Amino acid sequence: MQLRVPGPTPLPPSVREALSRDMIDHRGPEFAELLRDVTTRLKRWFQTSNDVLTLTSSGTGAMEAAVVNVLSPGDRVLAITCGAFGDRFAEIASIYGASVDRVTVSLGRAVDPAAVGEALAAGGPYKAVLVTHNETSTGITNPLAEVARVVRQTESLLVVDAISSLSSIDLQTDAWGCDVVISGSQKGWMVPPGLAMVSMSARAWEAYRTARMPRFYFDLGQAKKYLERWQTPATPAVSLYYAFQAAFELLDREGMASVLARHQRCAERVRAGVRALGLELFADPAHASNTVTSVKPPEGVEVASLRKLLRESGVVVAGGQGELTGKIVRIGHLGMISESDVDEILAALEQALSRLRAPVQA
């Protein structure tokens, strides 16, 4: 069975084993040591010396936390959106009362950093720029380093949704000057859903002090205060921290450079294989994601039938979201993924296509 949706992702055996451990007191010394270890390793993978807070929630909780901890109602925000998750970020800010302007990129394309510069110059100043590093709904990776360079020429905070990129695609939080960066456990980290991570720069903490959007569960100041004692304000998903520690044993043994390179190799192999089958890639090849590949089905083949046949052969892939429903399939290749997994996925795809095309050929 190959679970190849862009999260949740398959769990290594050692991670599954870690999940079966008994509970411990989340106010006791063992949990303190666990949280210290996971937090220290997260900071390395976030490539930051900023605070990294862990939240018991899905990734969307961290998106909400990123918004409500640095903004006040009425603050002007520039949201860069090139798909469903960029739209979600803009919507959260808007629901909490920010005044949101958008740079909207057509689906399947990446944002042009120059367009961000123009929007900042024409509409600014903005309190914050919201951007999705890897748009999971279309299979695009935005050129974040270049976008950051443009944003850093202004006073705006740079708030990054890196839920489906961090750990799999290079993101240099400090070197690029990202103020708030978020990720989620069930993507490249090889951990089940339920933990979200947020890094906060000194500038972001400065904004926190005057930010007036309502917050309680996701109050990162509280999280930071408790973290000083290696605790969390509310009861954490203890088992997921065990899982994280086990996943880090694997990630750190392999090393960040190797993990990133493996994702690139596997992604290239997926894209080449899909093309070799005569299929068209949906995303702009210049910015194709190394964690998720979106594929257009051939003429006359329904996405639903293709996904159903693949599922029956043991390979589970995702469909499109929103406007892209029925238009693309998305293959997740993040976390526990190897070249031989890719070959299995491609073989299943070839078989499913030949079965679906059979009546056409006849």
266 in contact with ligand PLP (CB under 6 A): no
Taking contact as CB under 6 A, which single stretch among the options 47-55, 73-81, 157-165, 201-209 is the one that binds ligand PLP? 157-165
Taking contact as CB under 6 A, which single stretch among the options 27-35, 71-79, 158-166, 209-217 is the one that binds ligand PLP? 158-166
Neighbours of 48 (CB within 10 A): 20
Neighbours of 297 (CB within 10 A): 20
85 in contact with ligand PLP (CB under 6 A): yes
184 in contact with ligand PLP (CB under 6 A): yes
Q: Least distance in Å: CB of 356 to ligand PLP?
A: 28
Taking contact as CB under 6 A, which single stretch among the options 52-60, 204-212, 223-231, 240-248 is the one that binds ligand PLP? 52-60
Residue among 163, 166, 301, 337 that touches ligand PLP (CB under 6 A): 163
SS3 105: coil
**Measured distance CA(275)–CA(293) in Å, rounded:** 12
Taken in order 196, 200, 204, 210, the sign of the CA dihedral is positive
What are the DSSP calls for 247-281, one per residue?
HHHHHHHH-HHHHHHHHHHHHHHHHHHHHHTTPEE
233 in contact with ligand PLP (CB under 6 A): no
69 in contact with ligand PLP (CB under 6 A): no
SS3 318: strand
SS3 354: helix
318 in contact with ligand PLP (CB under 6 A): no
Nearest residue to 289 via CA among 104, 184, 132, 159:
132
Q: Least distance in Å: CB of 25 to ligand PLP?
A: 27
241 in contact with ligand PLP (CB under 6 A): no
Which two structure tokens, joined as six digits, stand for 137?
A: 């709904």
Taking contact as CB under 6 A, which single stretch among the options 53-61, 95-103, 146-154, 202-210 is the one that binds ligand PLP? 53-61
Which two structure tokens, joined as six digits, stand for 165?
A: 């990129």
Amino acid residing at 343: D
Nearer Cβ to ligand PLP, position 132 or 348? 132
Contact 242, 151 (CB under 8 A): no
Q: Least distance in Å: CB of 214 to ligand PLP?
A: 20
**Measured distance CA(3)–CA(1) in Å, rounded:** 6
Nearer Cβ to ligand PLP, position 186 or 353? 186
Of residues 121 through 140, those in contact with ligand PLP by CB under 6 A are: 132, 134, 136
**Measured distance CA(213)–CA(139) in Å, rounded:** 32
179 in contact with ligand PLP (CB under 6 A): no
Amino acid residing at 154: T
59 in contact with ligand PLP (CB under 6 A): yes
What are the DSSP calls for 93-135, one per residue?
HHHTT-EEEEEE--TT-PPPHHHHHHHHHHH---SEEEEESEE
Residue among 39, 69, 141, 164 that touches ligand PLP (CB under 6 A): 164
- Per-residue DSSP letter, 137: T
8 in contact with ligand PLP (CB under 6 A): no
Ranked by CB distance to ligand PLP, the top (closest) residue is 59
Amino acid residing at 221: G
Taking contact as CB under 6 A, which single stretch among the options 37-45, 112-120, 159-167, 244-252 is the one that binds ligand PLP? 159-167
List contacts with ligand PLP (CB under 6 A): 7, 58-60, 85, 132, 134, 136, 161, 163-164, 184, 193
